[in-house]
Chain A
């Protein structure tokens, strides 16, 4: 079990601030590093991986600094965004060389396990130069996992993967998180983060905009209305009854049936709705938080 800790980390290039005073601690489990392109995700990951010096602040893994400290790679595995696998090696040779560079006691066995983990099978004996982008990504993940690191950092790991490969990689990362590894992956694609990880670190314009479980983050943003879609036995009467309640700030009847309700307080509304339904004798057949998706959380954060 390892912890990655960032304390007051900033990074600037001349007058441009890429990362601005970020502090966070990442523990075991899968965490998504989310942000739009240019938000500073890669800069942050490079600093966590010891490939970029913070202009200010410190980055450490289990208390040990990562910058200018190669021994940290015993604990840490990195899959960078750039396709960094030598074309002239076969996939198997690539992972095997990784195991040898780690001076593992049984490099061949470790390489075989890592390749099996990413399910590359027969293509492992082909040269990396002949691989598709998704296959390259997987062999690079295998090379990064060959020493079974406690911390795994991945920069946009699903780039170029087809849906089946993506699903498989998500399973692999899930399993690693569940078995106590600290896994951090960056993405600008919201559904990836939403599917893979409940915990997010949202970076917007170099700043840590939000941190924690993304559903909790959404609920904490009380100044934004929460939106629910409801279907019931009598939408119109429910709309009237709900409008009388304090936290409800708007109700809209949908032409296709059902209603959309905006509320300023998640908790009060969640308690009020069943009471209203019982009092009015209305049966609720569907209740969906319409804006609980990571996308809406994200757009709120970017907008503010």
Chain B
């Protein structure tokens, strides 16, 4: 199911890219803001929503998941090195799952560490672990979606940003019915449930959030596998 050579190659490729390395400190922003708010005497109930949800779940998590998710396979397709892996007798499912694993683990570790620390700053280990759980669920769904997007378009970052800003940033705030199709809401709702906190509130029940996240992951991963089977080499036709 998972190919260790592909995982190693993907990790080396990812950490060799500057735009990814530049984004690594992003989660530190969440921790920094939490520490700042705390030191200024604000209570977690006051700074929790804007810092953990507004900055963490709505900005840092999707942006990092997008950059990583779109890079794990998209960058290789972009620079032509994907052929190295694709011209091998490796089942396409194995390639997609290996890439997804890298995207999921890297983003969860990087963003999750920031969210966990921010939760600890708020004085609650359970809040920290809840945030980590929400981050993990959100990351998995985002990674699967952005991996598929990188197979569907040559501009995955642009399409991903449009989803994050327009769909999640605007529509789900105005039309509550669209929350069921918002990965951000899955992450917040799971974090809310796991942390048992009233610092922020999720818009979905944890069951719905988890089921929908699972549906999104399975459906987009299945589509990505099928899409990769039909991978077409483009280039100068001569």
Instruction: Give the total of A residues in contact with B, Cβ under 8 Å.
Output: 44
B233 touching A73, Cβ below 8 Å: no
Q: Is the CB of B83 closer than 8 A to any CB of chain A?
A: yes
B74-114: CB near A (< 8 Å → 1, else 0) gives: 00100111111111111110000000000000000000000
B8 contacts which chain A residues (CB < 8 A)? 97
| A303 CB–B CB distance under 8 Å | no
Task: Count residues of B near A (Cβ-Cβ below 8 Å).
Answer: 32
B159 contacts partner chain A, Cβ-Cβ < 8 Å: no
Interface string of B192-218 (1 = CB under 8 A from A): 000000000000000000000000000
Q: Is B230 an interface residue (CB 8 A)?
A: yes
Complex CA gap A144/B87 in Å reads 9
Q: Determine the chain B residues whose CB is within 8 A of the CB of A94 once the complex forms.
A: 84
Q: Mark A70-94, 1 if CB is under 8 A from B, else 0.
A: 1111101110111111111100001
Asked if A49 is at the interface of the complex by the 8 Å CB criterion, the answer is yes
CA distance in complex: A256, B112 (Å):
84
- The proximity string for A residues 40-80 relative to B, scoring 1 for CB distances below 8 Å and 0 otherwise, is 11110010010111000000000000001011111011101
Binds A, one of B9-17, B146-154, B167-175: B9-17
A279 within 8 A of B: no
| B95 and chain A: residue at smallest CB distance | A70
The majority secondary structure among interface residues of chain A is loop
Q: Which residues of A contact B92 (CB under 8 A)?
A: 70
Q: Which of B6, B12, B86, B88 contacts A89 (CB 8 A)?
A: B12
Q: Please judge, given known A-B contacts A51-B231, A84-B83, A97-B9, whether A40 and B89 are in contact too, CB under 8 Å.
A: no
Q: Is the CB of B84 within 8 A of A143?
A: yes
Shortest CB-to-CB span from B90 to chain A, Å, is 6
Q: Of A51, A52, A97, which is within 8 A of B83 by CB?
A: A51
Residues of A within 8 A of B (CB): 18, 35, 37-43, 46, 49, 51-53, 68, 70-74, 76-78, 80-89, 94, 97-98, 100-103, 143-144, 156, 188
Please name 20 further chain A to chain B contacts, defined as beta carbons within 8 Å, in addition to the given A38-B237, A86-B81, sorted by A numbering.
A42-B237, A42-B238, A51-B83, A52-B232, A70-B88, A70-B89, A70-B229, A76-B87, A83-B80, A84-B81, A84-B82, A84-B84, A85-B81, A86-B9, A86-B13, A89-B9, A98-B84, A98-B88, A101-B5, A101-B88
List of 6 A-B pairs having minimum Cβ-Cβ separation, nearest first:
A51-B233, A84-B80, A101-B88, A82-B80, A88-B16, A100-B5
